[in-house]
Amino acid sequence: MLAVIFFALMVGVALASLPAEKAEPMTRFLESLGHVTVAIIELVMRVAPIGVFCLIFSVTARFGFDLLLNLLMYMVTVVGSLALFLFLGYPLILKLVARRSPLAFFKKAEIVMLTAFSTSSSNATLPTTMRVSEEGLGLPKEICGFVLPLGATMNMNGTALFEGATVLFLAQVFGVELTIGAQLVVVLMSVVTAIGVAGIPGGSIPLLMMVAGMVGVPPEGVAIILGVDRILDMCRTVLNVTGDMVTATIVARAEGVKPTETLP
């Protein structure tokens, strides 16, 4: 899979370096392929509740009800980590780098965070994110129009954290011992694959299975967390979308834009 990912990156670099008229046919094909993939995921998600019930029943029968307690601890760990990043990491970045009041920022971003939590989709939240960033945070339209759509596709902090924690959890469930090297691979691939995650509910699951398989963790073990993934998806989408707004604020600061709520 590393070879496939590296090749895909090189194809992207090559397409970006070609003149627009030469790269357009391949770009249109890849965009169409992306839409087809999203449509397949949506079809799978329609029947997912039945499949998840059957898979969880099978796994519970194999590992016992203790697995449910471990699953609860896993949820608390992931949600707690996301909350720590959101309410500690981002405020520090806003205060030290963007020189902006974290409290004022979060008050303006509240509607965006609620929309992200309810939709579990960075793409669905994007119009609200752009409107609040321009009108509420006072960021230039040019910066919002570039940073926010790009961030909705590539800036997936919450997804990367979720993938890494999930692979480690599944490794413990199945008794797979991960060396330090394997754990570093998990961290690296979680960050890389998060860049390519579709901004739709459950879009990270296929790539999560790929990362798990790379380090010897059974990909089918993802079924264990599918029953609670909706809640985790809502939480990590909030982190992803808020990170896009924080990034746009930093870019605006770097470009010399001084918002209303600044720090001395």
Only one residue has tokens 């790539």, namely 207
Task: Give the three-state DSSP class for 198.
Answer: coil
Confidence (pLDDT) at 9: 82
β partners of residue 262: 100
Confidence (pLDDT) at 59: 67
Confidence (pLDDT) at 154: 79
CA–CA gap between residue 126 and residue 128 (Å, rounded)? 5
Six-digit token pair at 114? 């609620």
Confidence (pLDDT) at 84: 93
Top mean-pLDDT range of 128-132, 155-159, 215-219 = 128-132
Residue type, 75: M
Q: How many CB atoms lie within 10 A of CB 181?
A: 9
All structural domains of the chain with their residue ranges? 65-254
CA–CA gap between residue 64 and residue 46 (Å, rounded)? 28
Confidence (pLDDT) at 187: 87
Confidence (pLDDT) at 262: 44
CA–CA gap between residue 193 and residue 206 (Å, rounded)? 10
Nearest to 91 by CA among 104, 103, 102: 102
CA–CA gap between residue 19 and residue 16 (Å, rounded)? 8
Span 161-186, pLDDT tens digits: 888 889 999 898 888 888 888 888 88
Nearest to 67 by CA among 78, 56, 76: 56
Residue type, 94: L
Quick one: pLDDT band at residue 113, thresholds 50, 70, 90? very high
What mean pLDDT is predicted for residues 143-160?
85
Span 184-215, pLDDT tens digits: 888 888 888 777 666 566 667 777 888 888 88
Task: Give the three-state DSSP class for 133.
Answer: helix
Top mean-pLDDT range of 85-99, 120-134, 186-200 = 85-99
The CATH architecture one would assign to domain 65-254 is: Orthogonal Bundle (1.10)
What mean pLDDT is predicted for residues 135-147?
89
Span 61-82, pLDDT tens digits: 766 667 778 888 989 999 999 9
**H helix and E strand count, the chain:** 11, 0
CB 138 within 8 A of CB 168: no
β partners of residue 237: none
Top mean-pLDDT range of 119-123, 128-132, 148-152, 219-223 = 128-132
Q: What share of the chain is helix, strand, coil (3-state, %, to 5)?
A: 85, 0, 15
